[in-house]
Structure 1
Amino acid sequence: MACAASAAVATVGLAVSPAAAAPAGTTAAPAVSAEAEPGGACTAADLGTRHPYIKSTEVTPVITHFKGWYVTEGSTGSQKVTTTVQTVIKVTVGANASGNVEGAFPQLALTKAGATVGLNVQLEYTSTSTAATEVTWNFASPGYYGLYKGTKKVTGTYGSLHCNRAQQADGSWALKWVEGGGAGSFTTYTTLEEGAVRCEDAVPADSIMRKAQDLLDCGSAVATATHPAGEVTSAKAAEARKAAQAEQAATERAVDARTAQAPANPAPDPAPAPLAALNCQAAVYKIDVPGKPLNWSAPLLPGDGIRLRESNFLSAHLDNWKLCNVTESNGVIEASLWNWGNGGCATVPAAAANQELGVLTTASCVEDDLQRFYIYRDVPGSTKVGIQNKYSGSMAGHDRYADGEQIRQYSSGRQDGTGTYTMTVV
């Protein structure tokens, strides 16, 4: 079925004028902007890159393990106390508990978050211990102690910066860093510390030690009574532990729900897919490597990925693409990429959605976010673009320029500029 081009979407089509040719013999790598800042200038080589910026942060002291402990005159000295789990902190970036996508972008986002608050934070997908752990402490005096392990939990939100065309006040165009798809929230934490604190100790406000002291419930009858040597449980610590466990369970249920809603991994379909639900623009494009003969070509075989190929009489339109169900927001196009040769839509398979270097392929067009792409454009007169998957937030690119090389997703894009393509009207 032919694609219908509506007047509404035609106004957001790509510029079709050819880009200016590079000087003959030029071999130097494209100049990529060193630092991305909202509203800052970028270059065409940055179109295929993605950078995080931190929008908000909050630092909270958290006790991960705790035990109330009473020391008598005869039980001073070094002791090993087994603390119980109070709360569990997981490092996350993006929409799920294992992070949005593996790779450079999440680590850079967490690095910037740590720098923003002046703390060294965890950069890997990890969590605090889920098991009881021992704290060894030398008790010099009798009294009521809180043995603890704790950390500073760092949470916040981040944006995703992309290079895109922006119109200036005088009507001219320039490339600027703008917020695009892939924003989200993060959680991380600092190095764990352990210690012991008593009700009578003077400790800094908003510190990990003060948080542990609060769990002693110092004004309660439990705190002021005399006890045998050993464990003492305050109601406040028990309530806090129960609340933390409930919060963790709710978070995990939300993650499970999002995972259940994720699109199933569709099998590639070489047969033409029905286009009744797609509203495609009339223009047909090749997605080229700038100044090179190789371009995106849909898979010849089921299960294969989109590859760089040279167009010839055997291409059978597998190297021809249309933009479908096009929308535009703040100058950024969102569209499905429909392949003329096999009738499928470009997609990131669900099984590879959180994998760095996941291979793009085509599948029956079902209009989910795995098949939706943001397209960042050069100034009018140039056909250069960067392409980002909506679901994963990753940019399209390739490892090396070679016939048959697969198109993959990179969480931060290709920082050497090789993730910048051209969309050339056939």
Structure 2
Amino acid sequence: MACAASAAVVTVGLAVSPAAAAPTAPPTTPAASAQAEPGGACTAADLGTRHPYIKSSEVTPTITHFKGWYVTSGSTGTQTVNTSVQTTISVTVGVTGNVEGGFGVETLGKVGASLGLNVQVNYTSTSSASTSVTWNFTNPGYYGLYKGTKKVTGTYGSLNCNRVQQGDGSWALKWIEGADSGSYTTFTTLEEGAVRCEDNVPANSIMRKAQDLLDCGSATATAKHAAGPVPSAKADKARQEATKASKAVTADKSVKGVGNPAPAARAAALDCQPAVYRIDVPGKPLNWSAPLLANDGVRLRESNFFSAHLDNWRLCNVTERNGVVEASLWNWGNGGCATIPSDIANQEQAYLTTATCAQDDLQRFYIYRDVPGSSKIGVQNKYTGSMMGHDRYADGELIRQYSSGRQDGTGTYTLTGV
């Protein structure tokens, strides 16, 4: 596919070093910064990293399992009651729902710290099957047997290292609000118990939520019953609404393509800048090289006569917002655009490859830049939010996505003009 390069396109100030010129980057510390704070200083080693900050949080007591149960004077004592599922809560972070990598764990850890709650920080979910509650009933009455938790939801943003122009006109690297954000869901430790209509329980508590499902004051609650299960119209309605909401979320994820192969992409017209670049490992000969085979990935290779332009990239459909460049990366050698495969986009360390240029968000990347005079950059996928990096410096090593980036600085690259 030909790339339509237009001389009229503005170059949005990308600092590059010509292939034959010595780099002019100012001195920077070799290790990534230990702490990321908005407006705080960062180094070139941080360009390929990412850290979360919490924008909002909401805590909602939620009943996951429930059963209305009537105890007569002759049936007190310890009983085991099977409860029905009311709702299932899954731990998710971001559009992919991935909690494998460091970013998801760090996000949920900050949520717990900010709220003073012990929340789940790894992928898990409440049970989607009926479970039992064993309880010692000392008095007869109408009970609600329940299991529940505090569901925690909210939104996060990311902090990325990027160049910022200061009031005196000079430039500095600082932690800024990155171009991506998303939502999260987690929950606290599960609790179980039994509650009656006449019990005085704290407002906005898990026990109160269970008491609400008892339909206190209804004919069902006040009527005389034999010992055993009692139907609860309110609990049934809550369960149906939760099931409907769960199906809606599942359908929404399916539409977004999380974990599902995308339909065949149609080629999109590109408006590419005329400049051609290599994406190098700073100070070393290996750089990003696109695959010859469709099922292979972008790998570190050394440029030579046989590279066939597979190590040459152009920036296309370039925009800039708040100092952060967004672009598609078009490869001169195979005519494809860099992308994360849709069927593995939710996986930590999914590999980077190229595909027919379709201009979806999996093929769009944010580029974070060092101060002018340096060509060092960090690269972030728009859809997944993950930073690009490599596990080790070696010929043939795949370029992969890391949710928090490579904290040892190996996710920082050099955009070198060819």
Give the TM-score category using the shorter length: over 0.9
- Opposite residue 289 of structure 1, the aligned amino acid is V
TM-score by length of 2: 0.93
CA contact (8 A) 2:29 2:45 kept: no
Structure 1 range deviating more: 4-13 or 287-296: 4-13
Distance in 1 (CA, whole Å) between partners of 2:270 and 2:318 is 9
Distance in 1 (CA, whole Å) between partners of 2:41 and 2:29 is 19
Q: Which residue of 2 aligns with 1:234?
A: 232
2:269 to 277, 284, 292: 277
CA contact (8 A) 1:383 1:422 kept: yes
Q: Which residue of 2 aligns with 1:13?
A: 14
CA contact (8 A) 1:101 1:411 kept: no
- Tell me how far 1:221 sits from its aligned partner: 2.5
2:324 pairs with 1:332: yes
Deviation string 1:250-275 (CA, Å, 9 cap, x unpaired) is 222222222289773769xxxxx98x
2:328 is paired with a residue of what secondary structure? strand
CA contact (8 A) 1:265 1:349 kept: no
Q: Which residue of 2 aligns with 1:66?
A: 66
2:247 is paired with a residue of what secondary structure? helix
Deviation string 1:77-120 (CA, Å, 9 cap, x unpaired) is 00011111111112121125xx1474221121111112121111
TM-score by length of 1: 0.91
CA contact (8 A) 1:121 1:190 kept: yes
Distance in 2 (CA, whole Å) between partners of 1:263 and 1:228 is 54
Distance in 1 (CA, whole Å) between partners of 2:332 and 2:138 is 79
CA contact (8 A) 1:102 1:354 kept: no
2:32 pairs with 1:40: no
Distance in 1 (CA, whole Å) between partners of 2:30 and 2:193 is 53
1:135 to 133, 142, 145: 133
Distance in 2 (CA, whole Å) between partners of 1:230 and 1:147 is 12
Identity of aligned residues (%): 71
2:304 pairs with 1:312: yes
Distance in 2 (CA, whole Å) between partners of 1:401 and 1:261 is 29
Distance in 2 (CA, whole Å) between partners of 1:322 and 1:415 is 27
2:243 is paired with a residue of what secondary structure? helix
Q: Which residue of 1 aligns with 2:79?
A: 79
- The correspondence of residues 352-363 of structure 1 with structure 2, limited to 5 A, is 352-363=344-355
Deviation string 1:316-372 (CA, Å, 9 cap, x unpaired) is 222111111111111111111111222222111112211111111122222222211
- Tell me how far 1:5 sits from its aligned partner: 2.8
Distance in 1 (CA, whole Å) between partners of 2:262 and 2:255 is 14
2:313 pairs with 1:293: no
Q: Which residue of 2 aligns with 1:270?
A: none
Q: Which residue of 1 aligns with 2:116?
A: 118
CA contact (8 A) 1:349 1:361 kept: yes
Q: Which residue of 1 aligns with 2:155?
A: 157
Deviation string 1:391-423 (CA, Å, 9 cap, x unpaired) is 221111111111121111111110000100010
- The correspondence of residues 19-418 of structure 1 with structure 2, limited to 5 A, is 19-20=23-24, 30-96=30-96, 99-100=97-98, 102-259=100-257, 264=262, 277-418=269-410
Structure 1 range deviating more: 226-235 or 151-160: 226-235
Pairwise CA RMSD:
2.3
- Tell me how far 1:218 sits from its aligned partner: 1.7
Deviation string 1:151-176 (CA, Å, 9 cap, x unpaired) is 00000001121111111122111111
Q: How many residues align?
A: 414
Deviating beyond 6 angstroms after TM superposition, the runs of 4 or more aligned structure 1 residues are 260-263
- Tell me how far 1:12 sits from its aligned partner: 4.1
Distance in 1 (CA, whole Å) between partners of 2:249 and 2:62 is 17
- Opposite residue 128 of structure 1, the aligned amino acid is T
